[in-house]
Homo-oligomer: A and B are copies of this chain.
């Protein structure tokens, strides 16, 4: 049997311990759609909350927004998604299979799997045809009379069309940003790599509006800030790199674009993009809506369409990155221990409370501590099995601290706090535990 790859092991752990389940599994699953289980929901919520804190609450030059998934269909004409948001597909007349024309080398020929589509003698490929990636639906009760609308393929447009309303209702002046977190949908023909590329996904996007001419400065500043954020949530800096979009790779709306890439087991891939979108989006919406979107700059006494620097991150991708980056196996006392070494601020469970044995008032003391701690932190109580096995169960889901109530606790009113990574143990007074944990759990940025 072939050895399990890291991704195989991670997918298996994710299901077994409740991070990620296949959607609709009891019905045979739905292709490349995934559900977050109890621990995955907490982990992803922590990612989103850290981002919201760093981008909205801790800054006074960025406003939050939560725009709807359903939007006016003209928005996607203005943005270029109706005309241009397409993948080129080819069909094989022989085997009836369909492939992305620009990625034939990623597919195997169904008739001759050692070759790629088009390479085998019987292959008979059509010319590439363009297919739109937006999910279409119908608003209104009767399909034939309803408006055709789309599930948004990105959250950014919701920010652009609300730019005037945010400007007028807040007290912001340029430069300032608008940030939002929300679902988007793309009918990808080649989704895959677990939760890396899915048809339904969640974006964390921020659009920063600046004076033309100051866009390059702000672009560089946001590159720096965003890379620092990925360091702060604990990702290994050696596995992060910049990828600059050049030539044909650069989107039609962008003057400059850099991806932050992470080295996944399946290769270097984008987890966030920083884009200088110029005034492309606002000028398109100004033209298509007929509404003036210019900004009157009191400092310069001039009117202009602001330039936009975008930071666009995937909440699911970053959740996957945290899982991949945190996963390790170690040999300890002749056994393999699996650890998810999350940054404590991101870990789904912050502390486990464990009575060493279920007698001599240990369960009562442990339960009282647990009930006190969980008002402030996500905690887990476990009284089942040998203490070493309970430690391993917590290591495997990334719990940074295990607190053991033992036979001595009754005398010294203290407990053992075990650190996940070093396995070092501290003796901490029962009334000091909360402060001890809070000090060590303090997240990036407060």
Contacts and interface: CB of A to CB of B under 8 A. Distances in A.
Interface of A: 15-18, 21, 23-31, 33-42, 44-45, 52, 57-58, 60, 63-72, 74-75, 87, 89, 98, 131, 133, 135-143, 146, 149, 151, 158, 161-162, 164-166, 168-171, 180, 183, 185, 187, 189, 199-200, 285, 288-289, 291, 293, 374-376, 378, 381-382, 384, 445-446
A169 B37 contact: yes
A52 B44 CA distance: 14
Given A38-B63, A135-B138, 13 more contacts: A16-B169, A23-B68, A26-B164, A26-B291, A27-B161, A27-B289, A33-B71, A37-B165, A42-B64, A44-B66, A57-B378, A58-B374, A135-B139
Contacts of A40: 66
A170 B38 contact: yes
Question: Quick one: copies of this chain in the complex?
Answer: 2
Contact of A35 (B39, B65, B381): B65
Contact of A18 (B17, B143, B165): B165
B38 A65 contact: yes
B68 A34 contact: yes
Contact of A36 (B36, B65, B446): B65
A201 to B, nearest CB: 9
A65 B293 CA distance: 41
Contacts of A200: 68-70
A142 B166 CA distance: 38
Contacts of A72: 23-24, 27-30
